[in-house]
Amino acid sequence: MSDPSGPRPPRRVAMVTVHTSPLAQPGTGDAGGMNVYVLEVARQLARLGTEVDLFTRTTSAAQPEVVEVEPGVVVRHVAAGPYEGLSKEELPGQLCAFAAGMMRVAAHAPPGHYDLVHSHYWLSGQVGWLAADRWGVPLVHTMHTMARVKNVHLADGDEPEPRGREIGEAQVVEAADRLVANTEREAAELVDLYGADPARVAVAEPGVDLVTFAPGSQAAARAALGVPADAVLLLFVGRIQPLKGPDVLVRAAAELVRRRPDLRDRLVVGVLGGASGSGVRTPMGLDVLAERLGIADLVRFVPPVDRPTLADWYRAADVVAVPSHSESFGLVAVEAMACGTPVVAANVGGLPTAVGPGGLLVDGHDTADWATALGRVALGPETRATLSRRAAEHAQGFGWARTAGRLLEVYREALARPKDVSIDDAERIADVPRAVIP
């Protein structure tokens, strides 16, 4: 823990999230757990006294230049390339334009307006690196996902991450004063796969909105969503792309029906999300897969929904499947468990930390293994009741206020001893008079 008498926390942080807006609807396009993370952390930091400016790329002419989310949290849309039609893979060509836009914003104030830069994902890390260097402040970076990890666990039919991304990530790892990992496993991957200095790697586990995502009546949730009261509901929530493995759930559901033909009258397979990443360029064809497996009438495709409705879906489900091939943490798993719903998840990345005692972990993505695990929970009332209780208890340890508190510790450390900057220099930079940016 940090020394309360040590360096004060930053007064204002510039957070960078180039490729996806914290205001975007999670579950489609490039919007997912990172969007939720950035916005929730910013809110909590502001409530703790650290203001946050969130810089993201403008993707529509209708977006205002500045959006105040709440006191102390501002989203700043930066023009960088065409508003629409650019994929994430095309954004490296717009990083200079984005950085220039950030510089123009900061030009309205004297040096010292931002105490620290916190970038999210490697594209933002490239921009954050330049901004932090220009402003003479520390750079804190969170990877969220890593190319070398994803390529080791590549799903069948998915595309490997390009060499350019690997190089860009390695550069950010070297440049950052502090690296924030979601779990101890991710921290080890930063050291092992990218040669990160262990002394500059810290762990801050993501959180969950424990007010929105809380246990409730399954019957009421099903009535609100139009799900039969006696259904056996298996649920997938997330972006529809090979990395997330929604096909694993569809195949496992078909296997359950083969084993238990009586389930056909009650089984509902919910797939909640929109196409993303390689799933946009090459649609996964889950509907075609379900048709071929003979369960098209059991699969219900639902577009992304708002957070309260998402909580109802979690409560309505008997089990939530998280069959990802790679996952830095697994926010869906924690949201589901906060609602008292057990999880069956792949034993990869941060999912063991996220799931804990609130579900089952499956090694690999074999259809038979997944059918067995899902059936054990969804069709075993005693098992489900035990896991449901444990899930709700485990999720209580993942509030966003806890995440923000840990980040403030990391920020203090970075301000006290930024890489290549002395304590005296850091304090001098932080004490420069501040001004208000319009």
User: Cβ(145)–Cβ(328) under 8 Å?
Assistant: yes
pLDDT bin (cut points 50, 70, 90) of residue 6 is low
Q: What percent of the chain is modeled with pLDDT above 70?
A: 90
User: Cβ(308)–Cβ(225) under 8 Å?
Assistant: no
Residue 409 corresponds to which tokens in the numbers above? 């510790």
What homologous superfamily is domain 12-207+399-430 in, according to CATH?
Answer: Glycogen Phosphorylase B; (3.40.50.2000)
Is 150 labelled as part of a ligand binding site?
A: no
Is 315 labelled as part of a ligand binding site?
A: yes
Distance in angstroms (rounded) separating the CA atoms of residues 409 and 393: 26
Q: Which amino acid is at 110?
A: P
For the cut 70, the answer to whether the pLDDT of residue 424 exceeds it is: no
232-237: strand order across its sheet: 299-302, 267-272, 232-237, 319-322, 343-346, 359-362
pLDDT bin (cut points 50, 70, 90) of residue 28 is low
Is 413 labelled as part of a ligand binding site?
A: no
Is 264 labelled as part of a ligand binding site?
A: no
Is 359 labelled as part of a ligand binding site?
A: no
Mean model confidence pLDDT for the chain: 89
Is 63 labelled as part of a ligand binding site?
A: no
Residue 361: phi, psi to the nearest 5? -105, 140
pLDDT bin (cut points 50, 70, 90) of residue 8 is confident
Residues of the chain with CATH 3.40.50.2000: 12-207+399-430, 218-395
Q: What percent of the chain is modeled with pLDDT above 90?
A: 74
What homologous superfamily is domain 218-395 in, according to CATH?
Answer: Glycogen Phosphorylase B; (3.40.50.2000)
Is 419 labelled as part of a ligand binding site?
A: no
The pTM assigned to this predicted structure is 0.85
Query: pLDDT value at position 158?
Result: 77
CB-based burial of residue 398 (10 Å sphere; 0-12 exposed, 13-18 middle, 19+ buried)? buried
